[in-house]
Chain A
Amino acid sequence: MSCSIRTALALVLSLTAAAQDAPKLPPPPKPPVAPVGAGGSAPFQPARLEKPAQPDSIRATYELEGRTINITEGEYYDSLSMLQKLEGRTGNPVTDGRVYEHMLTFAEARSVGLEVTDEEFASTDPMRRNPALAEQLKKRWEQEGITPELYARYQKETTTVQRIKDLYANGMRVKSADIFDAYARDHYTYKLDYMTFPASDHVAALANPTDEELKKFWDDDRVIQNTLRVPMSITAEIIWLDPSAQSATLPEGALKPTYEETLAYYNRNRDRLNALIPAQRRPELYPSGKTDPSKLVSPFSILRETVEKEMLLSGAVRVALIQAQAPNADLKAIAAKNGLQFQRLDRVDRMGFATAGGSRYGVQAFSALFNLNPGTLLPDVSVEGQVQWIARLVEKDQARLPEFNEVKQKLIAPYAEAISMKMATDRANEVRKLIDDLVAKSAKEEIDRIYAEADAEASREAKERNIAEPKEVEAIRTRARTLRNSAIADVQRKHMGKSFDQAAQMKGLKLEITEPFGFEPPRTEREINNTVQSRQEFLKGSYQVRDLKDAGQVTAPMVDPAGKSLFIARLIERIEPNFSTMSDSDLVYFRTIAERTAHYQSNYRWYYYEISKRRNLVLAVAQPK
């Protein structure tokens, strides 16, 4: 007993003496209260390696297992130095963020017992197993300032970090229910009833519009103005040649080019000319081993005649251009003289130009001609595919908006179409408003009760917080009501179905019920007619229908511009797809998507943004921006 008292006394005395002898160091700087950098963007600047003057001073703190742990300047310097020597590359330097990521991830891994021990490292160190390699590396390390101890520390720490990353990467456990949820979103089966508002209901009443009505329609409707606008048009004369066409004839007395000239021309234009090899002769280019050598062909041997013809006729087009440049030249006569084709296009717009054979001159031909001054030629021979052509613009007319009287008769049908659609839209909106009004009426009691609860709660809160300022009280009340928006939406949804029926009855609208159907992206080529099938085709592709979740929910008016109708639909039921019959391909698709998300999330844990937030990293020194 006395021994233990003596020991305790000696301990107390020694501690007191030590405390008196110790030099008084300034207290380490405290980190700021606000977490600088924690959960913020990663400091991506390359870290500067500067030996700290005070290695024990605190650079940052973080939390682990309920304790606050310091990172000293010395510890940070050691880690940075290690990472720079073993990971830093020119152009990819180690950043501050990387150092913290490494330190925090290592600390987290160590805290759960994943740290690589010296014994573990020793038993698996590849350097020990391969001494020759070790010797080579050591020599290189000496130059780079890497000691075997630093290498061992790096290996142990990075292996520890990899262990915790592997732990999450191999424990994702993507659940079938999650895959199914993702799959179901696109594969529900819907059953609806709906009311239709066809524009055709109003067309008969609009068959005989007055001039005033038509004039107003013409003046106001930009769409019809654009439709009936008189487009720009041209009159042009064109001389053209297609050497590959059967009709192209050689000019009289033409001198055939030599074999060498033809081959040289072919080689210069090989890619274009090879496309002229007829499909039926192509197999000759891939002979079998048994083909008679005398029957072997080359692309040039097949094309030689065509090439010769093209060479001669190309010359003819150029001659025609020179002749056409003479004042008042007759292009038709020039074409005939040179064995070329001639075409005159009178007052054609862009579309008329294309349909009258102008497409052979290329998509830019109309614009090129329109940009000329009347009476002038295109400056050079134009080439489009195999076609060579020259042209002269005779005259041109600018686009213009016609006078009302010019188009009056053409306006009657579009007027009926546009106005009937507007009337159908108004009627659909009116019915939808009626549904909302009926909901508001029937759900009023319940909604008032919810608002009353919200108001009472707001009053209590204002009272507890001693708030009397009307503006602030109103703000509290608004917030309390806003928090109940979803409850109110639920009540409204509950009453919506019934109101839908009432509105249909009041307005004398017939409800149609669909067969159960799955969502299909809208198709442009669907057949448009006023049949039930056509209407349901539209509903199948409606994203508003796809967003319906609960039975009784009603859509806003949906416009089918192609079918000239509007619809308001109510969800009768939404049926889940069958997981058991989902195809393997779909299962792989949705599973892999879910795995990618889970994998990314698990790896995101170790990213500076996430780990600094999770560990509440507080930097004592704000990082330079």
Chain B
Amino acid sequence: MQSKLIIVLAVSCLSLVAQKTTGESWKDVENALPRRGATSLTNAASPVPSASIDWQKANDRMTEAMINAADTPAEPWAMWYLANFKFESGELDESQNLLISLQQRFPKHALNTARLGKNGRTLMQDALDDVSEEQSFKKRHPRKPIPLPVLADAPSATIRFVSGDVTIRFFPNVAPKHAERFLENCHKGLYDGTRVTRVNDNTVTAGDPMSREGMNPDPRGISKASDAPASIPHEFSGLTHRRGMVSMLRNPVGNDSGASTFCFIMKDFTALDLQQTPFAEVVSGMEVLDAMTRMPRAQGEAPSSTITIRAVAVNDKAVPPETPEKK
């Protein structure tokens, strides 16, 4: 009810706001879009996953853009986008109100007249149907929304490579089992003396207990070492494999994670999304990992000289990041 009132107030206040030009209004609207249409089919495969978008923030930005776009051709489009974002954030009543308001205020607008939807329908017809279908489904199957990933201040783990230290922090709200397992492995000393086993432009892989024995580790992440822990179920979330993330390698049988071997993501690498579980992020020491990617490599992408993890220190207190720079 309260949010309905806010929308009504926002819409009625539109004319009171200082006018922007149509071009500026469009710019605001475009800047508030969390996704972009792909420039070609080759990069159309992986949109930004819904679970990684802060829809509340997207709603706020689009609301502001809509108010600024009052009485310009950009206004109905901003309303349209806002209605879609409300749908995504689960605010279905607000989404419906916005669509109805758009229908009533701009009856001749292309959204209401052009046959751009499914089976020759208008986009508005499709949207209203989708909203009412979603409303009815959610009434029958209520569930909490997926939480957005939050990087916890503590604990942190400092991985002491022979070439330098890398500190990571965890996302326990979306990958609790992985964070817990990694810390458990650290406390057991499972990673001490293990090696970096694979380096390429996208990833730096380490943590297979088998590598300690000087034998060939399993590239798929299932360690054959006697002290390797059992695999754990995947914990997919809004976290994507962007630079700086730490991801647990996947068990090739089923979708579980291997639970010991992990990799650092050196470049945005969304091909690994839904394949592996990201569970932590590097907060300092990316330069140490960058240096590894520049080292010569032997066959199978193993570094030609041995890079060993001396130890992993777990700090239960919050540590501010030393170098927030990632790029």
Contacts and interface: CB of A to CB of B under 8 A. Distances in A.
B288 to A, nearest CB: 17
A418 interface: no
A67 B77 CA distance: 25
B27 interface: yes
A596 interface: yes
Contacts of B21: 119-120, 123
B38 A588 contact: no
A180 B141 contact: yes
Interface stretch (B9-17, B39-47, B260-268, B315-323): B39-47
B47 A596 contact: yes
Contact of B133 (A124, A164, A177, A580): A177
A279 B189 CA distance: 14
Contacts, number: 168
Interface string A588-617: 110111011001101110110000000000
A53 B18 CA distance: 52
Given A122-B23, A124-B24, A177-B137, A112 B114 contact: yes
A330 interface: no
A275 B214 contact: yes
Contacts of A131: none
A119 B23 contact: yes
B41 to A, nearest CB: 5
Q: How large is the interface on B (under 10, 10 to 19, 20 to 34, 35 or more residues)?
A: 35 or more
B30 interface: yes
Given A279-B213, A286-B193, A588 B134 contact: no
Interface string B249-265: 00000110000000000
Interface string A115-132: 011011111100000000
A145 interface: no
B116 interface: yes
Nearest to A287: B310
B154 to A, nearest CB: 23
Which of A114, A274, A521 has its CB near the most chain B CB atoms (within 10 A)? A114
Interface in B19-77: 21-24, 26-27, 30, 33-39, 41, 44-47, 49-51, 73, 77
B38 A175 contact: no
B228 interface: no
A253 interface: no
B169 interface: no
B126 to A, nearest CB: 8
Contact of B147 (A169, A275, A584): A584
Contacts of B213: 275, 279
B307 interface: no
Contact of A173 (B41, B110, B130, B236): B130
B49 A171 contact: no
Contact of A602 (B22, B37, B274, B311): B37
A123 B310 contact: no
Contacts of A586: 236
Interface stretch (B79-87, B180-188, B197-205, B289-297): B79-87
Q: Main SS of the interface on chain A?
A: helix
Interface residues of A, number: 60
Contacts of B238: 588
Interface string A48-73: 00000000000000000100000000
B23 A120 contact: yes
B44 A600 contact: yes
B306 to A, nearest CB: 8
Contacts of A162: 36-37, 39
Given A165-B36, A275-B214, 20 more contacts: A112-B114, A113-B109, A113-B110, A116-B26, A119-B23, A122-B23, A164-B37, A165-B37, A166-B36, A169-B36, A170-B81, A170-B85, A173-B84, A173-B88, A175-B134, A176-B137, A585-B236, A585-B237, A589-B236, A604-B44
24 contacts: A111-B110, A112-B111, A113-B73, A121-B23, A123-B24, A124-B24, A162-B37, A163-B30, A165-B39, A166-B30, A167-B77, A171-B81, A172-B47, A176-B138, A275-B213, A277-B214, A279-B213, A286-B308, A580-B141, A584-B237, A592-B50, A592-B273, A599-B38, A603-B38
Interface of B: 21-24, 26-27, 30, 33-39, 41, 44-47, 49-51, 73, 77, 80-81, 84-85, 87-88, 109-111, 114, 116, 123, 127, 130, 133-134, 137-138, 141-143, 146-147, 174, 192-193, 212-215, 233-238, 254-255, 273-274, 308, 310-311
